[in-house]
Chains A and B, each alone.
Chain A
Amino acid sequence: MSERKDLTRRRVLKAGATATAAGAVTPYFFTSPALADGHEGFRNAPKGDTVTLGFNVPQSGPYADEGADELRAYELAVEHLNGGGDGGMMGTFSSKALKGNGILGKKVAYVTGDTQTKSDAARASARSMIEKDGAIMITGGSSSGVAVAVQALCQEAGIIFMAGLTHSNDTTGKDKKANGFRHFFNSYMSGAALAPVLAKNYGADRKAYHLTADYNWGYTTEQAVQESTEALGWETVAAVKTPLTQTDFSSYIAPVLQSGADTLVLNHYGGNMVNSLTNAVQFGLRDKQVNGKDFQIVVPLYSRLMAKGAGANVKGIFGSTNWHWSLPDEGSKAFVKSFGTKYGFPPSQAAHTCYVQTMLYADAAERAGTFNPCGIVEALEGFEFDGLGNGKTLYRAEDHQCFKDVLVVKGKENPSSEFDLLEIVEVTPVDQVTYAPDHPQMRDAEGNVVPIGTCNPGA
């Protein structure tokens, strides 16, 4: 095609000229008069008398159940913010800025999207909420990969991101962003809360064998549990990675007995955990005696939906969770009551954290007097609150992580209903799970502390 080179080059030049011309008339981000009135100087400033929130949850894929529960919680939160229903946790929340007339007098509207538990799909859905629907805040998600991806997108676009269920250290560790906030607890906290309970119940001289889901969340959880238990005298015999798509764990369970370990730690979530725990119980691990001790199994991150999947196998097995509907405090009771009245069953921990995140955002906007992301960030940083189900809680300014009590739970021996599967063994006080913002587990692969950056209002 060499004889046509000149024509091709001319095309390229022409194309370049077009691009330059397009650039010359291009101001920075949205400047259209149609998209701003009243509030100005930040992206997607709400116009008219409504404000739009974006609920980006997995509606298909492995975490669709959790996504559906998150969506229920969001719809409930919107109802309460707009003054409907019984107000839920608005009555017990220590901050009284919310009045039940929307946020800053604007009625709350929302759009929904499907993350499919894939970073690409989640970002596409979040971008359409931002670019098309004018969402001022994005929230939701049920995996850390998605949370980290959407959080980075929101930082770039100048939108606030209120993370849903994400447990990996990275979300507020090496991948933290100024526009992103997480209420849920993380791997480090699970390890720190679990280890003392395990040592108390099973002794301080255990030999642990880890099976770990082969992706980021698995790595951070394995590291957290290992470091916390080793600090109390446990020994880690082996840590084996299992593929995320594995459904039969027999071949991974068999070597556990030969290794001389007397405790099996399953760093698995969702369907992985249901299958690996079932396999382990079928192999009779729990009836074995090793090193003169009863063999034990531990699941660092529990959810009620997982406990339901694993059925009777979870009985007596320790794990940690962010929140449980059987908590006796006023906030939890109010939330369970209004959720139960509306949907007929108690909320999951995913629903709880999503509801709380929406309330915290709305409250921060009220206190700041603006929807400007920088105002929201300022209002949330270092914010101390109570009455939202986890007791006294702090939104730490350094990494935008919530610090609160962590629940250590155990599979219930005699469940009274299909929802009553976990019992609370201990409420680990917040001091015990607090860590320094530059803790080694929160650093990147080279051991550097990643800065959080500054808030971006997007305009």
Chain B
Amino acid sequence: MLSLNARDFQLLLFVAAITMLAPIFLNPFPVDSSLAQFNGGYPDLMQRFVIFGIFAIGFNILFGLTGYLSFGHAAFLGAGSYAAIWMMKLLTMNIIPAIILSIIVAGLFSLAVGFISLRRSGIYFSILTLAFAQMSYSLAYSVLTPITGGETGLQPKLNDPRILDGELAAGETARANLFGLEMGSSYDLAVGGWVFTFNVGYYIAAICMLLAFYASIRIFRSPFGLMLRAVKSNQNRLGYTGVSTRPYTLAAFVISGMYAGVAGGLMVAMDTQAGAERMFWTASGEVVLMTILGGAGTLIGPVLGAGMIKYMENIISKINTTILEAWFAWAPDGLQDVLVSVIYPFVGKGWHLTLGLVFMLVVIFLPGGLMEGFEKIGGLFSRKKGKNSDSVAGSASPAAAE
């Protein structure tokens, strides 16, 4: 189906089912229970899951396949965001032109950066991309303030031209939409104590992610993908056999830049604001973390890594002492204080610490990322042995993903 082999098609169906049902299984706890803190099924976080999933899938095409470690991908995400917000300010609040322009701008920008950076490989390549990204960040933050809004960033204003949209009715604000369907509108389904929120923006972003995921499978399985893997395993040997690798690596770089552009455009579509700090080097580092945490070179790993990091950033970081005290209210006074003071450094503003520990554990015990963990678990129950030789470098085994 869809020119995929059976296992890849199963994987795609699996991902489709997961993304479509995410609003339900991300809200496993009733609204009034004390564990509702861990519910992740609200529109903002679900949108972030799939948007950063797209970003990581694209990054994985470059890093996972060719082994080129770019430390500047956030610059393409940021360029895409600025393109999208300008499209919304000048042309229309419809998200389609915004996303198309963000892909074009990010693609052109990555072509320019890649053309220069790919003259070097290894650490020099990483440093060059990092330098470009930091330059973009500094420019956007100060020198280019008239275009980027500087520190304050850009938002749609009441007096923007929006030539295709016509005048706003009095009291209306400009909202991102798809032919009138607003990104912010949601349908709440209350079942017993549970509330499930089905959000338009989330489903549009999820469909974009499925398309991106499908395209990524096709790239992984194509002769082009094979050539990229050859670059990773031994670029010199390719050179000796007379293959010029530059066009392939540049194409991979531009493709992953365009993925970042889609993610940037979608970020603006879901939350109409663009700021310079999404180009900061920590944002570039984050996508590297996502990819490695989930499993570089696997199909679904980067999406898992993105989900994991965004979940921690948004859920763990919001646990404060009051909540901890409520959790341990059953314990005697002294014990409660001990428990709270032991756990507190790892939650709230200490979520980075928890993330760091998880990252260390994964890198030490599961060098292939979370996907390797799933494969190991899958291997325990599988009758077929020794079938996972190609999975770390090549594909994710769907048996494991299921």
Contacts and interface: CB of A to CB of B under 8 A. Distances in A.
Interface in B1-49: 2-3, 31, 39, 42-45, 48
Contact of A244 (B141, B171, B275): B141
Contacts of A243: 138, 142
A22 B198 contact: yes
A221 interface: no
Given A11-B211, A29-B185, A175-B152, A113 B141 contact: no
Nearest to B174: A156
Contacts of B218: 1
B275 A118 contact: yes
A216 B150 contact: yes
B188 interface: yes
A306 interface: no
B142 A7 contact: no
A145 B190 contact: no
A111 B142 CA distance: 33
A113 B200 contact: no
B273 A149 contact: yes
Given A128-B45, A170-B152, A114 B317 contact: yes
Given A112-B318, A132-B42, A29 B173 contact: no
Interface in B178-220: 178, 181-182, 184-190, 195, 197-198, 200, 203-204, 207, 210-211, 214, 218
A131 B23 CA distance: 13
Contacts of A59: 348-349
Given A29-B185, A124-B48, A215 B159 contact: no
A22 B273 contact: no
A19 B318 contact: no
B151 A145 contact: yes
Given A22-B200, A32-B190, A34-B190, A119 B211 contact: no
Contacts of B121: none
Given A4-B3, A128-B44, A215-B142, A148 B185 contact: no
Interface string A181-206: 00000000000000000000000000
Interface stretch (A331-339, A364-372, A399-407, A443-451): A443-451
Interface residues of A, number: 69
B146 to A, nearest CB: 7
Contacts of B318: 111-114, 125, 128
B229 interface: no
Contacts of B189: 32
Nearest to B315: A128
Given A112-B318, A113-B317, A128-B42, A448 B159 contact: yes
A250 to B, nearest CB: 20
A454 interface: yes
Nearest to B280: A118
B190 A144 contact: no
B151 A34 contact: no
Given A27-B185, A145-B152, A145-B275, A19 B45 contact: no
A120 B278 contact: yes
A353 interface: no
A1 to B, nearest CB: 7
Given A18-B203, A118-B275, A144 B181 contact: no
B271 interface: yes
B203 to A, nearest CB: 5
B272 interface: yes
Contact of B349 (A114, A120, A454): A114
A34 B188 contact: yes
A26 B200 contact: yes
B207 to A, nearest CB: 5
B187 A119 contact: no
Contact of A112 (B141, B277, B314, B320): B320
A149 B184 contact: no
B2 A11 contact: yes
B86 to A, nearest CB: 15
Interface residues of B, number: 63
A396 interface: no
Contacts of A27: 185, 187
Nearest to B40: A132
Contacts of A120: 273, 275, 277-278
A127 B271 CA distance: 9
A7 B44 contact: no
Interface string A110-153: 01111000111101110110011000000000011100110011
A23 B181 contact: yes
Contacts of B73: none
Contacts of B190: 32-34
B157 to A, nearest CB: 7
Nearest to A245: B138
Contacts, number: 174
A124 B181 CA distance: 22
A22 B203 contact: yes
Contacts of A28: 182, 185
A175 B157 CA distance: 8
B151 A152 contact: no
B273 A152 contact: yes
Contacts of B348: 59, 112, 114
B153 A153 contact: no
Q: Which of B204, B214, B352 has the most chain A CB atoms closer than 10 A to its own CB?
A: B204
A419 interface: no
A445 B188 contact: no
A215 B181 contact: no
B126 interface: no
A7 B175 contact: no
A34 B195 contact: yes
Contact of A30 (B138, B188, B275): B188
A214 interface: yes
Interface string B271-285: 111010110100000
A149 B271 CA distance: 10
Contacts of B186: 26, 29-30
B152 A216 contact: yes
Contacts of B146: 445
Contact of A131 (B42, B170, B313): B42
B188 A453 contact: no
Nearest to B81: A120
A121 B186 CA distance: 22
Given A19-B181, A26-B186, A123 B200 contact: no
A19 B42 CA distance: 18
A30 B199 CA distance: 10
Contacts of B182: 28
A23 B2 contact: no
Interface of A: 1, 4, 7, 11-12, 15, 18-20, 22-23, 25-35, 59-60, 64, 111-114, 118-121, 123-125, 127-128, 131-132, 143-145, 148-149, 152-153, 155-157, 168, 170, 175, 214-217, 219, 241, 243-244, 444-445, 448, 450-451, 453-454, 456
30 contacts: A11-B211, A19-B181, A26-B198, A27-B187, A32-B188, A32-B195, A112-B320, A114-B349, A118-B275, A119-B152, A120-B275, A120-B277, A123-B271, A125-B317, A125-B318, A131-B42, A131-B44, A131-B197, A132-B42, A132-B44, A149-B155, A149-B273, A155-B173, A156-B173, A170-B152, A244-B141, A244-B142, A244-B151, A451-B158, A456-B171
**Which 9 pairs from chain A and chain B are nearest by CB?**
A32-B188, A127-B44, A59-B349, A214-B142, A215-B151, A119-B275, A145-B151, A131-B42, A132-B42
Given A125-B317, A131-B42, A448-B159, 4 more contacts: A11-B2, A27-B185, A123-B271, A149-B275
